[in-house]
Amino acid sequence: MQAPAVRLEAVTKLFDGRAVVDEVSLDVASREILSLVGASGCGKSTLLRLVSGLERPDGGAVSLAGEVVAGPSVFVEPERRGVGFIFQDYALFPHLTVARNVRYGLQGLSAREAADVADDMLERVGLKEFGQRYPHMLSGGEQQRVALARALAPKPRVLLLDEPFSNLDRRLGETVRTRTLALIRELGAAAILVTHDPQEAMASGDRVALMRRGRLVQIGRPEDLYDRPASREAADFFAAATPVPGRRVDGHIETRLGRFRAPDRVADGGEVAVYLRAPHVALTAPGEGVEARLVGMSFVGDGYEFLLQVDGLDEPIRARSVGRNDAKIGDVLHICVRPDDQLIFPVGL
Protein backbone atom coordinates (compact mmCIF):
# COMPACT_ATOMS: atom_id res chain seq x y z
CA MET A 1 0.00 0.00 0.00
CA GLN A 2 1.32 3.44 -0.97
CA ALA A 3 2.30 5.66 1.95
CA PRO A 4 0.30 8.88 2.36
CA ALA A 5 1.79 11.97 0.77
CA VAL A 6 1.48 13.63 4.19
CA ARG A 7 0.97 11.99 7.57
CA LEU A 8 0.62 13.90 10.83
CA GLU A 9 0.70 11.90 14.04
CA ALA A 10 -0.36 13.73 17.22
CA VAL A 11 1.44 16.87 16.02
CA THR A 12 1.59 19.64 18.62
CA LYS A 13 3.00 23.17 18.50
CA LEU A 14 3.24 25.46 21.52
CA PHE A 15 3.58 29.24 21.58
CA ASP A 16 4.15 30.78 25.03
CA GLY A 17 3.01 27.52 26.59
CA ARG A 18 -0.28 27.45 24.68
CA ALA A 19 -1.06 24.68 22.18
CA VAL A 20 -1.71 26.43 18.86
CA VAL A 21 -1.78 22.99 17.21
CA ASP A 22 -2.96 20.34 19.64
CA GLU A 23 -2.26 16.66 18.84
CA VAL A 24 -3.49 16.80 15.25
CA SER A 25 -3.44 13.51 13.33
CA LEU A 26 -4.41 13.19 9.67
CA ASP A 27 -3.33 11.69 6.35
CA VAL A 28 -3.32 13.27 2.90
CA ALA A 29 -3.25 10.69 0.12
CA SER A 30 -1.15 10.94 -3.02
CA ARG A 31 -2.80 13.31 -5.55
CA GLU A 32 -5.45 14.31 -2.98
CA ILE A 33 -6.45 17.93 -2.34
CA LEU A 34 -7.36 18.53 1.29
CA SER A 35 -9.10 21.73 2.36
CA LEU A 36 -8.06 22.82 5.85
CA VAL A 37 -10.66 25.23 7.18
CA GLY A 38 -11.51 27.05 10.37
CA ALA A 39 -11.85 30.46 11.94
CA SER A 40 -8.86 32.81 12.15
CA GLY A 41 -6.41 31.74 14.84
CA CYS A 42 -7.44 28.06 14.90
CA GLY A 43 -3.95 26.83 13.90
CA LYS A 44 -4.39 26.23 10.14
CA SER A 45 -1.40 28.25 8.92
CA THR A 46 0.81 26.94 11.72
CA LEU A 47 -0.03 23.40 10.63
CA LEU A 48 1.16 24.23 7.09
CA ARG A 49 4.38 25.64 8.47
CA LEU A 50 4.94 22.42 10.43
CA VAL A 51 4.49 20.34 7.26
CA SER A 52 6.84 22.59 5.29
CA GLY A 53 9.54 22.72 7.97
CA LEU A 54 9.23 26.44 8.67
CA GLU A 55 8.28 25.46 12.25
CA ARG A 56 9.42 22.56 14.42
CA PRO A 57 6.75 20.54 16.26
CA ASP A 58 6.88 20.31 20.04
CA GLY A 59 5.32 16.86 19.89
CA GLY A 60 4.31 14.18 17.43
CA ALA A 61 5.70 13.43 13.98
CA VAL A 62 5.39 14.64 10.38
CA SER A 63 6.00 12.20 7.50
CA LEU A 64 6.14 12.83 3.76
CA ALA A 65 5.70 9.84 1.43
CA GLY A 66 6.57 7.50 4.31
CA GLU A 67 9.71 9.40 5.40
CA VAL A 68 9.69 11.03 8.84
CA VAL A 69 10.77 14.64 8.35
CA ALA A 70 10.01 15.95 11.85
CA GLY A 71 9.83 14.10 15.13
CA PRO A 72 11.47 13.72 18.54
CA SER A 73 14.91 13.03 17.05
CA VAL A 74 14.47 13.99 13.39
CA PHE A 75 14.22 17.30 11.56
CA VAL A 76 14.64 17.62 7.80
CA GLU A 77 15.26 21.17 6.60
CA PRO A 78 12.53 22.80 4.46
CA GLU A 79 14.60 22.84 1.25
CA ARG A 80 15.06 19.04 1.44
CA ARG A 81 11.38 18.17 1.89
CA GLY A 82 10.18 18.51 -1.69
CA VAL A 83 7.31 20.77 -0.60
CA GLY A 84 5.98 23.79 -2.49
CA PHE A 85 4.44 26.69 -0.56
CA ILE A 86 2.18 29.48 -1.82
CA PHE A 87 1.78 32.25 0.75
CA GLN A 88 -1.21 34.56 1.12
CA ASP A 89 0.80 37.54 -0.17
CA TYR A 90 2.51 35.35 -2.86
CA ALA A 91 6.01 36.40 -1.62
CA LEU A 92 7.34 37.13 -5.11
CA PHE A 93 10.80 38.71 -5.35
CA PRO A 94 10.13 42.29 -6.54
CA HIS A 95 13.62 42.75 -8.03
CA LEU A 96 13.37 39.60 -10.21
CA THR A 97 11.46 39.22 -13.45
CA VAL A 98 8.56 36.81 -13.61
CA ALA A 99 10.73 34.21 -15.38
CA ARG A 100 13.51 34.54 -12.80
CA ASN A 101 10.96 34.22 -9.96
CA VAL A 102 9.81 30.92 -11.44
CA ARG A 103 13.41 29.73 -11.99
CA TYR A 104 14.37 30.56 -8.39
CA GLY A 105 13.72 27.06 -7.02
CA LEU A 106 15.48 25.26 -9.87
CA GLN A 107 19.10 25.66 -8.81
CA GLY A 108 19.83 21.97 -9.47
CA LEU A 109 19.26 22.40 -13.22
CA SER A 110 21.39 24.00 -15.87
CA ALA A 111 20.46 27.52 -16.94
CA ARG A 112 18.94 26.20 -20.17
CA GLU A 113 16.96 23.47 -18.41
CA ALA A 114 15.70 25.91 -15.77
CA ALA A 115 14.62 28.38 -18.45
CA ASP A 116 12.75 25.63 -20.33
CA VAL A 117 10.94 24.51 -17.16
CA ALA A 118 10.03 28.10 -16.29
CA ASP A 119 8.71 28.75 -19.80
CA ASP A 120 6.62 25.57 -19.65
CA MET A 121 5.14 26.47 -16.25
CA LEU A 122 4.33 30.04 -17.34
CA GLU A 123 2.58 28.64 -20.39
CA ARG A 124 0.58 26.26 -18.19
CA VAL A 125 -0.65 29.16 -16.03
CA GLY A 126 -1.43 31.33 -19.05
CA LEU A 127 1.43 33.79 -18.63
CA LYS A 128 3.76 32.72 -21.44
CA GLU A 129 4.33 36.30 -22.63
CA PHE A 130 4.91 37.74 -19.14
CA GLY A 131 8.37 36.34 -18.41
CA GLN A 132 10.25 39.65 -18.67
CA ARG A 133 7.81 41.67 -16.59
CA TYR A 134 8.23 42.42 -12.90
CA PRO A 135 5.72 41.55 -10.15
CA HIS A 136 4.61 45.17 -9.67
CA MET A 137 3.50 45.23 -13.31
CA LEU A 138 1.01 42.39 -12.76
CA SER A 139 -2.53 42.23 -11.40
CA GLY A 140 -3.30 40.30 -8.22
CA GLY A 141 -4.55 37.31 -10.19
CA GLU A 142 -1.46 37.30 -12.39
CA GLN A 143 0.82 37.46 -9.33
CA GLN A 144 -1.02 34.51 -7.84
CA ARG A 145 -0.42 32.49 -11.02
CA VAL A 146 3.28 33.36 -10.98
CA ALA A 147 3.46 32.13 -7.37
CA LEU A 148 1.74 28.91 -8.46
CA ALA A 149 4.16 28.43 -11.36
CA ARG A 150 7.13 28.99 -9.04
CA ALA A 151 5.81 26.53 -6.46
CA LEU A 152 5.08 23.82 -9.04
CA ALA A 153 8.22 24.23 -11.18
CA PRO A 154 10.40 21.92 -8.99
CA LYS A 155 7.61 19.28 -9.19
CA PRO A 156 7.00 19.07 -5.44
CA ARG A 157 5.36 15.97 -4.00
CA VAL A 158 3.23 18.20 -1.80
CA LEU A 159 1.91 21.71 -2.42
CA LEU A 160 0.81 23.91 0.50
CA LEU A 161 -1.46 26.89 -0.18
CA ASP A 162 -2.13 29.40 2.60
CA GLU A 163 -5.25 31.48 1.81
CA PRO A 164 -4.02 31.88 -1.79
CA PHE A 165 -7.19 33.48 -3.17
CA SER A 166 -8.18 35.74 -0.26
CA ASN A 167 -6.64 38.88 -1.81
CA LEU A 168 -8.69 38.51 -5.01
CA ASP A 169 -12.25 39.67 -5.56
CA ARG A 170 -14.90 36.94 -5.53
CA ARG A 171 -15.30 36.43 -9.27
CA LEU A 172 -11.58 36.54 -10.05
CA GLY A 173 -10.85 34.36 -7.03
CA GLU A 174 -13.23 31.66 -8.28
CA THR A 175 -11.67 31.74 -11.76
CA VAL A 176 -8.09 31.56 -10.47
CA ARG A 177 -9.02 28.84 -7.96
CA THR A 178 -10.55 26.67 -10.70
CA ARG A 179 -7.43 27.02 -12.86
CA THR A 180 -5.12 26.40 -9.92
CA LEU A 181 -6.86 23.21 -8.79
CA ALA A 182 -7.01 21.90 -12.36
CA LEU A 183 -3.24 22.41 -12.78
CA ILE A 184 -2.45 20.78 -9.43
CA ARG A 185 -4.50 17.74 -10.45
CA GLU A 186 -2.89 17.68 -13.91
CA LEU A 187 0.59 17.60 -12.39
CA GLY A 188 -0.38 14.98 -9.81
CA ALA A 189 0.69 16.78 -6.64
CA ALA A 190 -0.98 16.30 -3.29
CA ALA A 191 -2.10 19.60 -1.81
CA ILE A 192 -3.31 21.15 1.43
CA LEU A 193 -5.33 24.33 0.89
CA VAL A 194 -5.90 26.56 3.92
CA THR A 195 -8.95 28.81 3.91
CA HIS A 196 -11.32 30.44 6.38
CA ASP A 197 -14.18 30.28 3.85
CA PRO A 198 -16.40 27.19 4.23
CA GLN A 199 -17.79 27.49 0.69
CA GLU A 200 -14.29 27.65 -0.78
CA ALA A 201 -13.23 24.68 1.34
CA MET A 202 -16.13 22.53 0.15
CA ALA A 203 -15.68 23.58 -3.49
CA SER A 204 -11.93 22.91 -3.51
CA GLY A 205 -11.13 19.78 -1.53
CA ASP A 206 -11.59 16.07 -2.12
CA ARG A 207 -11.91 16.09 1.66
CA VAL A 208 -12.34 18.88 4.18
CA ALA A 209 -10.69 19.08 7.61
CA LEU A 210 -12.26 21.46 10.13
CA MET A 211 -10.05 22.88 12.89
CA ARG A 212 -11.11 24.68 16.04
CA ARG A 213 -8.80 26.02 18.76
CA GLY A 214 -5.85 24.01 17.50
CA ARG A 215 -7.66 20.68 17.30
CA LEU A 216 -9.05 18.71 14.39
CA VAL A 217 -12.83 18.70 14.86
CA GLN A 218 -13.96 16.66 11.86
CA ILE A 219 -12.59 15.40 8.54
CA GLY A 220 -14.42 13.88 5.60
CA ARG A 221 -15.93 14.54 2.21
CA PRO A 222 -17.49 17.99 1.78
CA GLU A 223 -20.94 16.38 1.71
CA ASP A 224 -20.25 14.63 5.02
CA LEU A 225 -19.31 17.80 6.86
CA TYR A 226 -22.28 19.71 5.45
CA ASP A 227 -24.92 17.00 5.89
CA ARG A 228 -23.56 15.28 9.00
CA PRO A 229 -21.64 17.82 11.08
CA ALA A 230 -20.16 16.42 14.28
CA SER A 231 -21.15 19.37 16.47
CA ARG A 232 -23.33 22.45 16.62
CA GLU A 233 -20.31 24.61 15.83
CA ALA A 234 -19.61 22.57 12.70
CA ALA A 235 -23.26 22.77 11.65
CA ASP A 236 -23.22 26.54 11.94
CA PHE A 237 -19.79 26.94 10.34
CA PHE A 238 -20.69 25.32 7.02
CA ALA A 239 -24.07 27.06 6.69
CA ALA A 240 -25.66 29.61 9.00
CA ALA A 241 -28.09 27.72 11.20
CA THR A 242 -30.64 28.72 13.84
CA PRO A 243 -30.92 26.63 17.03
CA VAL A 244 -34.44 25.70 18.09
CA PRO A 245 -34.85 24.16 21.56
CA GLY A 246 -36.56 20.80 21.87
CA ARG A 247 -37.04 17.81 24.13
CA ARG A 248 -37.35 14.07 23.47
CA VAL A 249 -40.78 12.78 24.40
CA ASP A 250 -41.96 9.21 23.61
CA GLY A 251 -39.31 8.70 20.97
CA HIS A 252 -39.81 12.05 19.21
CA ILE A 253 -38.34 15.54 19.50
CA GLU A 254 -41.00 18.08 20.38
CA THR A 255 -40.33 21.68 19.32
CA ARG A 256 -42.25 24.86 18.67
CA LEU A 257 -42.03 24.04 14.95
CA GLY A 258 -43.38 20.52 15.22
CA ARG A 259 -42.36 16.96 16.04
CA PHE A 260 -39.28 15.29 14.59
CA ARG A 261 -37.72 11.84 14.66
CA ALA A 262 -35.36 11.53 17.64
CA PRO A 263 -31.78 10.31 17.24
CA ASP A 264 -30.80 7.29 19.34
CA ARG A 265 -28.20 9.24 21.31
CA VAL A 266 -30.92 11.36 22.99
CA ALA A 267 -32.69 9.78 25.99
CA ASP A 268 -36.34 10.48 26.75
CA GLY A 269 -36.65 13.80 28.52
CA GLY A 270 -33.31 14.95 27.12
CA GLU A 271 -33.00 18.53 25.92
CA VAL A 272 -31.71 19.16 22.41
CA ALA A 273 -30.95 21.94 19.98
CA VAL A 274 -32.46 21.45 16.51
CA TYR A 275 -30.29 23.38 14.07
CA LEU A 276 -32.21 24.68 11.06
CA ARG A 277 -30.71 26.07 7.85
CA ALA A 278 -32.67 28.23 5.44
CA PRO A 279 -33.08 25.46 2.80
CA HIS A 280 -34.69 23.25 5.46
CA VAL A 281 -37.57 25.70 6.01
CA ALA A 282 -40.36 26.02 3.45
CA LEU A 283 -43.15 28.55 3.10
CA THR A 284 -46.60 26.95 3.14
CA ALA A 285 -50.14 28.00 2.29
CA PRO A 286 -52.09 30.08 4.82
CA GLY A 287 -53.51 27.88 7.54
CA GLU A 288 -50.77 25.27 7.22
CA GLY A 289 -47.60 24.91 9.28
CA VAL A 290 -46.66 27.46 11.93
CA GLU A 291 -47.30 31.20 11.87
CA ALA A 292 -44.24 33.43 11.62
CA ARG A 293 -43.91 37.20 11.34
CA LEU A 294 -41.59 38.53 8.64
CA VAL A 295 -38.91 40.69 10.30
CA GLY A 296 -36.34 40.83 7.51
CA MET A 297 -35.78 39.83 3.90
CA SER A 298 -32.98 39.99 1.33
CA PHE A 299 -32.81 39.30 -2.38
CA VAL A 300 -30.40 36.43 -3.18
CA GLY A 301 -30.54 36.32 -6.96
CA ASP A 302 -32.98 33.51 -7.69
CA GLY A 303 -35.32 34.36 -4.84
CA TYR A 304 -35.42 35.75 -1.32
CA GLU A 305 -34.13 34.80 2.08
CA PHE A 306 -36.60 35.61 4.84
CA LEU A 307 -36.02 36.22 8.53
CA LEU A 308 -39.09 35.03 10.41
CA GLN A 309 -39.98 35.41 14.08
CA VAL A 310 -41.98 32.56 15.61
CA ASP A 311 -43.74 33.09 18.92
CA GLY A 312 -41.94 31.24 21.68
CA LEU A 313 -38.52 31.24 19.99
CA ASP A 314 -35.69 33.58 20.94
CA GLU A 315 -34.06 33.74 17.52
CA PRO A 316 -35.64 34.34 14.10
CA ILE A 317 -35.78 31.48 11.61
CA ARG A 318 -34.33 31.75 8.09
CA ALA A 319 -36.32 30.50 5.10
CA ARG A 320 -35.85 30.72 1.33
CA SER A 321 -38.27 31.19 -1.54
CA VAL A 322 -37.57 30.80 -5.25
CA GLY A 323 -38.75 33.50 -7.64
CA ARG A 324 -40.25 36.91 -6.91
CA ASN A 325 -42.26 37.53 -3.78
CA ASP A 326 -44.47 40.44 -2.74
CA ALA A 327 -44.24 39.80 1.02
CA LYS A 328 -43.59 42.85 3.23
CA ILE A 329 -41.98 43.33 6.62
CA GLY A 330 -44.59 42.67 9.29
CA ASP A 331 -46.59 40.16 7.21
CA VAL A 332 -47.57 36.90 8.85
CA LEU A 333 -46.41 33.90 6.79
CA HIS A 334 -46.64 30.18 7.42
CA ILE A 335 -43.68 27.82 7.51
CA CYS A 336 -42.93 24.15 7.94
CA VAL A 337 -39.73 22.15 8.35
CA ARG A 338 -39.12 19.15 6.15
CA PRO A 339 -39.20 16.11 8.45
CA ASP A 340 -35.78 14.60 7.64
CA ASP A 341 -33.66 17.73 7.26
CA GLN A 342 -32.88 18.60 10.86
CA LEU A 343 -29.51 18.54 12.58
CA ILE A 344 -30.22 17.52 16.18
CA PHE A 345 -27.65 17.78 18.95
CA PRO A 346 -28.02 17.09 22.66
CA VAL A 347 -27.60 20.30 24.65
CA GLY A 348 -23.95 20.64 25.56
CA LEU A 349 -22.53 18.71 22.57
β-sheet with 18-28: strand ranges across: 18-28, 6-15, 59-64, 67-71, 74-75
Q: What is the dihedral of CA 116, 119, 120, 125, to 10 degrees?
A: 160
77-98 pLDDT, tens per residue? 998 999 999 888 888 999 999 9
End-to-end CA distance of the chain: 37
Determine if the pTM surpasses 0.85: yes
Give the pLDDT confidence of 295-327 residue by residue, as tens digits.
999 988 778 889 999 999 999 999 988 777 788
pLDDT at 133: 95
User: What's the pLDDT score for residue 212?
Assistant: 93
* Whether pLDDT at 1 is above 80: no
Q: What percent of the chain has pLDDT over 90?
A: 57
**pLDDT at residue 349 greater than cutoff 70:** no
Q: Where are the domains of the chain?
A: 6-233, 240-346
Q: Is the pLDDT of residue 136 over 60?
A: yes
CA atoms 91, 94, 99, 101: torsion sign? negative
Architecture of domain 6-233: 3-Layer(aba) Sandwich (3.40)
Q: For residue 307, how far is the Cα from the chain centroid?
A: 27
Looking at residues 130-147, what average pLDDT do you find? 92
Q: pLDDT, tens digit, for every residue of 115-131?
A: 999 999 999 998 989 99
**Rounded average pLDDT over 170-181:** 87
> Would the pLDDT of 43 be above 60?
yes
Closest CA relative to residue 294, chosen from 284, 308, 310, 312: 308
| pLDDT greater than 80 at residue 101 | yes
pLDDT at 340: 66
Q: How many angstroms separate the CA atoms of 69 and 81, rounded?
A: 7
How does DSSP classify residue 197? -
- Position 264 pLDDT exceeds 70: yes
What is the rounded average pLDDT for all residues in the chain?
90
pLDDT digits (tens, 9 = 90+) for 202-235: 999 999 999 999 999 999 999 999 988 988 888 8
107 vs 148, more confident: 148
Distance CA 226, CA 217 (A): 13
- Give residue 348's pLDDT: 62
DSSP 8-state assignment for residue 4: P
Q: What is the pLDDT of residue 98?
A: 94
Predicted pLDDT of residue 295: 95
For the cut 60, the answer to whether the pLDDT of residue 285 exceeds it is yes
